[in-house]
Structure 1
Amino acid sequence: MTDAPRTADSCRLALPREAERLAAIQRRSWQQLMPPDVAAHILGSVDLETMAQSWAAAITRPPLASMRVLVAIAEGRPVGFAALGPSDDEDAHPGSDALVAEFIIDPPAQRQGHGSRLLNAVADTLRADGFARATWWVRSTDDPLRRFLESAGWGADGAHQSLGTSDEAATVKMIRMHTALSDS
C-alpha cells in the first residue's frame, strides 16, 4: 500500500466554507499571543459562530473589491490567513497604501514556512492591486513578529497607537510597520 500523494503547500483566496476554520485559528492565535486577561476579555465577548459569520461575509461580500482574505494551505486545509485591503489610516495615501489587517498562522503550524509563503502572497496580491506601500499594525511586545517582518524588508515607520476595549478593561500598544511594494 502506498501513501496518498501529499498536497503541495500553497496560498490562495479563502473559500466561504473555510470561514469557521479561520475563526477557530484566530481564536487559538489570540489565546497564544495576547496577555491572558486581554484574550479572556475579547474571546468572552464573541463566540466562534459569530466570528465565522464575519469571516464568511468578508470572503463573500467584502465592502471593496480590493479587500481580500488569503489562506495558507497545508495538507489541503487552511493553516493560516491574511486579511488585506486599502489602508484606513488618517495619513494613508488613498489608492497607494494598503493595510494587512490580520495575519495569523495557526500555532501548531508555525515555523514551517507557511508565514513566509503567505507574506509573499500578500505582497504579490497588493502589488497586483496597484498598491505601492503596505502597512501593518503590530503589538509593540510581539518581538518574534517584528523580527519576521524586518527580515522580510519591513520596518517601523514611527506611528503608534493604543487599542482598547470600550470599557478599557484591556489595552494593547501597537506600532506600525511598513514596506514598499514597488519593484523599483
Structure 2
Amino acid sequence: MVDAFVRPARADDADAVARIQLETWRVAYARVIPEDVLAALEADDVAAQWRSAIVEPPTPRHHVLVALEGDAAVGFAAAGPATVEDLVGPGYASEERGGDEWDAKALAVSTLLVEPRWGRRGHGSRLLAAVADVAREDGFTRAVAWALDADQATRSFLESTGWAPDGVGRVLDMNGTEVPELRLATTLTDA
C-alpha cells in the first residue's frame, strides 16, 4: 500500500505546487481559460508566488497544504480568511470582520487542485479534510470556494462532500474573455 497523506507546505514545495497548478490548469481548464493566459504563465514566476504564500502568508490563518503519495507531491490546497470580495451577496454580514481586512468566521478555499494523473485516489478528499481541520483550529465556522462554472468535476466533488452553491456568481476577466464562477459554501462543524 502506498503512503498518502497531507501536510503543511514548505518552501521547497513551491516548485512542485507550481508544477501541479500549471499542469492541472493546462489539462483541466484548457477549454475554459484562454490559451494566451495559460501560455503566459511561467513556472518560475508561479513558484515564486507560491513560495511567498508558503513562507510569508498574509496572516497566520492562511495555509498552503500539500498532498503526497509516497515522495511525490500530487495536489495542494490554499485557504485563509475570506475577504469582502469572497463574501458578496445575501447571507454574509460584514460586521463579523470587525473592521479587519479578513473575515473572522468565514474561510475561503482559494485553490484545491490534484494533478489529473493522480485523480480518483482520495487526494482531493484528504486535502479538503485537512483544510477543514485547520479551519476549525483557526476558529472558522463556515467556508466558501469559487469554482469555474464550467468545472463540473470540482463542483461535483465539493457537492459530494456537503458543499452547495449558494446562488452567488461572479465573472472573471481573463484578457478580455469572461469566465464565470459559482460560489459554493458549507458550514464547518466538528467532525
TM-score where L is the length of structure 2: 0.87
RMSD: 1.7
Q: Secondary structure at the match of 2:155?
A: helix
* 2:46 maps to 1:51: yes
Unaligned regions of 5+ residues in structure 2, if any? 97-102
Q: Secondary structure at the match of 1:38?
A: coil
Return the alpha-carbon distance in structure 1 between the equivalents of residues 65 and 79 of structure 2.
8
What corresponds to 2:119 in structure 1? 110
Match of 1:40 among 35, 45, 62: 35
Q: Secondary structure at the match of 1:85?
A: strand
What corresponds to 1:175 in structure 2? 182
Counterpart amino acid of residue 144 in structure 1: A
Unaligned regions of 5+ residues in structure 1, if any? 1-5
Count how many residue pairs are aligned between Structure 1 and Structure 2: 177
Return the alpha-carbon distance in structure 2 between the equivalents of residues 77 and 37 of structure 1.
28
Q: Is the 8 A contact 2:66 2:77 kept in 1?
A: yes
Return the alpha-carbon distance in structure 1 between the equivalents of residues 73 and 15 of structure 2.
11
- Residue 70 to residue 113, structure 1, CA distance change in 2 (3 Å): same
After TM superposition, give the deviation of residue 90 of structure 1 in Å: 4.4
What corresponds to 2:67 in structure 1? 72
Return the alpha-carbon distance in structure 1 between the equivalents of residues 190 and 13 of structure 2.
33
After TM superposition, give the deviation of residue 172 of structure 1 in Å: 1.1
* 2:11 maps to 1:16: yes
Per-residue CA shift, 1:115-166, capped at 9, x if unaligned? 111111111111111000010001112112111111100000111000012x
Return the alpha-carbon distance in structure 2 between the equivalents of residues 9 and 183 of structure 1.
23
Superposed counterparts of 1:96-135, under 5 Å: 96-135=105-144
Counterpart amino acid of residue 140 in structure 1: D
Return the alpha-carbon distance in structure 2 between the equivalents of residues 37 and 157 of structure 1.
22
- Residue 90 to residue 179, structure 1, CA distance change in 2 (3 Å): closer
- Residue 39 to residue 22, structure 1, CA distance change in 2 (3 Å): farther
Q: Is the 8 A contact 2:144 2:186 kept in 1?
A: yes
- Residue 126 to residue 25, structure 1, CA distance change in 2 (3 Å): same
After TM superposition, give the deviation of residue 171 of structure 1 in Å: 2.2
After TM superposition, give the deviation of residue 68 of structure 1 in Å: 0.6
Return the alpha-carbon distance in structure 2 between the equivalents of residues 172 and 142 of structure 1.
11
Q: Percent identity?
A: 36
* 2:152 maps to 1:143: yes
